[in-house]
Amino acid sequence: MDLSEQLRDINTQLTAIIRNIGAEHGITFSQTNILLAIPVDGLFSSQLAYKVGIEVTVVGDDDQSIYGWRGGLGFNGFVDFQKKTGAKALALDICYRCRPEILEVADRVIRNNVARIPKTLIASKSRGGDVQFRYFGDKHIEADAIADEVGKNPGQWAVLARTNRVLDDVEAALQSAQIPINRLGGKSIWENPAIVLYMGALVSLHGGPSRGLENLIAWAEEREVTLQKLHNSLKGMEFDYIRGSLAKDYCLNTRQLQESWSDWRKELRIGKIAPVLSGLVQWMAHAQPKRKGDVKMAEVAMGVLSRMDESLTLKQRIDKIRRGIMIQRSKDERGAVTIATLHSSKGLQFPRVWIPGLKEGTLPSDSNEDIEEERRLFYVGITRAEDQLITSTSDVASRFLAEAFPERFKKEKEITLKAS
């Protein structure tokens, strides 16, 4: 049996099943209103299905095609299907989600794409939306501003970003403010192994269990036999005071850590926390120069701890983070701010949306040569917002922001854009 015959057989079987279900519920179907929907790029070609007499309906939005890297056909798929089947195109141009002000921004952006089906975007809602662009001096100020704004009504908000790295900074600020979080499609930053390592070492440093210290030394690739001896010695002695033959067996990283450990404990005793937080990160960077990702995550945790109330001790700061984690784990998602990548947000909608980190190199991403797909990704983020949209950056602004807010930007050279 060839593919055409298989398709006819499938259609016959599905038709019979649908008619039987309809008969059970008193519904009568005509032959013409039974449709077999097959993905354009699926196992059974929609075009072949059409040729053997199976009715095919293809529904989609070419402006939201954001998975070209995994084979999504988007605009080209629609055009090819229409050419080969003579299918009639119907534009579903009414948006029931966004306020007109938000849809107008989305339209200004997406019109810059060449490979798209022309359409007029019409909002069904009345005017009254709020659209803003904000520029910040650095990413920490940006993240803190997000926490201040969304903390007023967390359940109304979603923070959407191109990368998880941008979301990590936002989550850190939200966590510091003890705002409940629902993170889609990714783990909390506090579950990141490098942050767990850094925080565990700090717990050991202020007098907690030695496990965090031992994990840190193991991360720096100390010899297993030395680790076992150190574990036994730490049961009755502080790391600062271990000397003799065991200390002579330390690798260079462990010897340097022991020297710094003693200094850090002295700093903590006189209430100096900042040198300890930064010193530990610097030691990690020196001990494992190739593990830059781990060091960057440790820097995120350092930033959260550093920006806390200066009157708090190191232990109090760590306890505050722990309380925030407990709040997050016991949260009611309806009262939590949603944070997600732009890809993860597709198909969702929120009353208020903030899209941070809109800088050249991030959106559009340096790793994606398809600028039009990156623009579609921004369009998806914009159109998740129902009533309020805030966009922001703390760096060289994305060219897409200039398209969205032309009156706020001026061009310098080719793509260097700054807030006016």
Residue 233 has pLDDT above 60, yes or no: yes
Residue 184 has pLDDT above 70, yes or no: yes
Residue 96 has pLDDT above 60, yes or no: yes
Q: Is 413 left (phi over 0), alpha (psi -120 to 50) or beta?
A: left
Where exactly are the structural domains of the chain?
3-94, 110-180+331-419, 191-322
Nearest to 110 by CA among 68, 79, 64: 64
CA distances, 57 to each of 90, 128, 155 (Å)? 11, 36, 37
**According to the model, what pLDDT value does residue 88 have?**
81
Greatest mean pLDDT range, 69-83, 95-109, 170-184, 399-413: 95-109
Residue 364 has pLDDT above 90, yes or no: yes
Nearest to 50 by CA among 62, 42, 34, 38: 38
Verdict on whether the full-model pTM lies above 0.85: no
Residue 145 has pLDDT above 80, yes or no: yes
| Pairwise CA distance, residues 419 & 133, whole Å | 9
**According to the model, what pLDDT value does residue 24 have?**
55
**According to the model, what pLDDT value does residue 27 have?**
44
Q: Is 393 helix (H, G, I), strand (E, B) or coil?
A: strand
**According to the model, what pLDDT value does residue 41 have?**
43
Split at pLDDT 50, 70, 90, the class of 242 is confident
| Pairwise CA distance, residues 375 & 45, whole Å | 29
For residue range 277-326, list pLDDT tens digits in order.
Answer: 999 999 999 999 999 999 999 999 998 899 888 899 999 999 988 887 77
Residue 275 has pLDDT above 80, yes or no: yes
Residue 239 · residue 210 · CB < 8 Å: yes
In degrees rounded to 5, what are phi and psi of residue 354?
Answer: -120, 125
CA distances, 213 to each of 257, 316, 334 (Å)? 10, 19, 39
Q: Would you state the structure tokens that stand for residue 33, as one six-digit string?
A: 């209103």
For domain 110-180+331-419, the CATH architecture is: 3-Layer(aba) Sandwich (3.40)
For residue range 323-349, list pLDDT tens digits in order.
Answer: 877 776 665 566 889 999 999 999 899
The two most distant CA atoms of the chain are separated, in Å, by 91
66 Cβ contact list (under 8 Å, min separation 6): 72, 342, 343, 346, 373, 376, 377, 380
| Pairwise CA distance, residues 113 & 379, whole Å | 11
